Amino acid sequence: MPVLTFSKSQLGPILEVSVWPGAEALNQLKLAGQPVPQPSQLKMLVDSGSEGSVVDESLIRPWNTPYVSLAWAATITGRKPIQRYEVALSIRGQAGQTAWEIPSLLVCSRQSPFTGMPYQGLIGRDILDRAVFVFNGPAHHCTLAY
């Protein structure tokens, strides 16, 4: 089982991630003669309280891919409508570690949900359910085995 290791920030485990349109979205772009977008590089906070992963909408909109479904998200301020997109993503650990490639995942998108934060997305239980995540507070590091 491959293992990625990360330093823990004051806000918690923040991971380096690349996100791009998933396979079906890429096929739709190619059929429409649209250019294939470059992966977006972002930081995502591990949030075991989040049922699903979330990405800031400003990173997905430029791809010009349609959303897959609509849903509702429970937030501190109440229920909010959200759009879900199919994406592929790559989670990177420390230098020299092989990245975890996830070829297809439905993520929620929200407009500017992370304003003022050093991350642009959340890694939720939809990803954590596929792995073993260890948060070692005293040692100030985390591991993700997949």
Reported confidence tier of residue 142, pLDDT bands at 50, 70, 90 = very high
The predicted pLDDT at position 74 comes to 79
The predicted pLDDT at position 129 comes to 97
If one counts the domains in the chain, the total is 1
Q: What is the domain extent for residue 94?
A: 3-145
* pLDDT > 90? residue 73: no
DSSP state of 59: H
Rounded to the nearest 5 degrees, what angle is found at the Cα of 71, between the Cα atoms of 33 and 122?
80
19 Rama class: left (phi>0) / alpha (psi -120 to 50) / beta: beta
CB 50 within 8 A of CB 125: yes
The predicted pLDDT at position 111 comes to 79
Least confident of 43-47, 53-57, 113-117, 123-127: 113-117
Residue burial 110-138, b: 16+ Cβ < 10 Å; e: rest: beebbeeeebbbbbbebbbeebebeeeee
What pTM does this model have?
Answer: 0.90
The predicted pLDDT at position 3 comes to 95
Mean pLDDT of the 75-94 span: 91
* pLDDT > 90? residue 55: yes
* pLDDT > 80? residue 68: yes
Residue located via tokens 């995540």: 133
Reported confidence tier of residue 119, pLDDT bands at 50, 70, 90 = very high
* CATH number (domain holding residue 47): 2.40.70.10
